[in-house]
Amino acid sequence: MKAKNMKYRKFGSIAGFEVSEIGFGGAAVSGEGGGYGFGFVEEKDALDLLHKAYDSGINLFDTAPIYGFGLSEKRFGKAFKGMREKVFIVSKSGVTWDSSKRVDMNNDPKIAQKMLDQSLKDLQTDYIDLFMIHWPDEKHDIRKPMEVLYKAKEEGKIRHIGLGNSFPEDIEKACEIAQVEVLQNEFNLFARYPQESLFEIIREKNLGFMSWGTLDKGILTGTVTPNRKYDKADARSHAPWWKSADRKPKFNAMEKIMPILKANNHTGLEMALGFVLQFEELSTALCGTKSFAQLESAVNALGNLPSKDLLEEISEIAKKELEN
């Protein structure tokens, strides 16, 4: 289904499929209990939101076992059970947790197989469109879980293979075992590693590329401020990756950027999406939304993205603040 503001791009070498410029980030509907979630979401609301996203023109839905410790995948399974062929589902292996919900990166091939099998069950499907190694880890050669993914692709359990949060050397090693078709990395105004280190290999190998952290956990929308409080179901209330991070340079940059956006009739959301979508190497920008209003705002933002000149001005401000 194609909506008014939604545009579509080629997804690397994947034939016969164009991906919506916004992809749905499944951590947002992972509910209470952590696992990268952003606050409690009732199951009915989550399912309605996933259907609304599809009706809005979004055709890629990204999830992982760690999102809600399995709950996000289960909600995807319920939402798309009767319309499986209409959506492109992404899931991953390699981020595990124990009985106390302590998280670990683990690419043991036995773990990869176990997580894939559980994902198929929770998603209520006999295939996953794109299955990725979520994060590399120092304990396991990335080629070992790639062997599991290659076998699963041969068996028809997955259709395409991808890598998350990887470096060029990881990609080259993985490609020794099987064709890597898609990458997924953090990419936004404040996180430019892909632009600096991955775009070349994306072009050379004709890879699809998905950005996560597109809105930088809300900072780039201008709605997240230094003193904002979060409820216990929101990972930002307790997660080390949020609690221990120095975000002052980002907030300083946003203090300068928001008035410029306002003067040019743009929002932080439009700027955040415009920054990543200006690059042809990007296939889809993942956005996590928890409500109809957030979803509508994201889709509507595509119709009013800032000009390249304005984005360049804002980009320079961000660079200077981060360097300082």
Domain ranges of the chain: 16-323
Angle between helices 248-263 and 268-277 (to 10 degrees): 100
Q: How far apart are CA 166 and CA 185, in angstroms?
A: 7
What is the model's pLDDT at position 299?
Answer: 97
List, for residues 70-123, the tens digit of each pLDDT value: 999 999 999 999 999 999 999 999 998 888 778 888 999 999 999 999 999 999
* Mean pLDDT of all residues in 263-292: 97
Kindly state the tokens that stand for 240: 């080390």
- For residue 99, what pLDDT is reported? 82
What does pLDDT average to over the chain? 92
Average pLDDT over residues 299-316: 98
CATH number of 16-323: 3.20.20.100
- Output the pTM of the full model: 0.93
**Given pLDDT bands bounded at 50, 70 and 90, which one contains residue 61?**
very high
Q: Residues 223-253: pLDDT tens digits? A: 887 666 666 666 555 555 554 566 888 999 9
- The DSSP string of 65-126 is TTTTTTHHHHHHHHHHGGGGGGSEEEEEE-EEE-TT--EEE---HHHHHHHHHHHHHHTT-S
Measured CA angle at 19 (ends 119, 297), to 5 deg:
95
Unique residue bearing structure tokens 């979520």: 134
pLDDT reading at 182 higher than 90: yes
What's the pLDDT score for residue 228?
64
Percent of the chain's residues with pLDDT above 90: 80
Q: What does the pLDDT average to over 34-53?
A: 84
Given CA atoms 228, 231, 234, 239 in this order, what sign does their dihedral have? Answer: positive
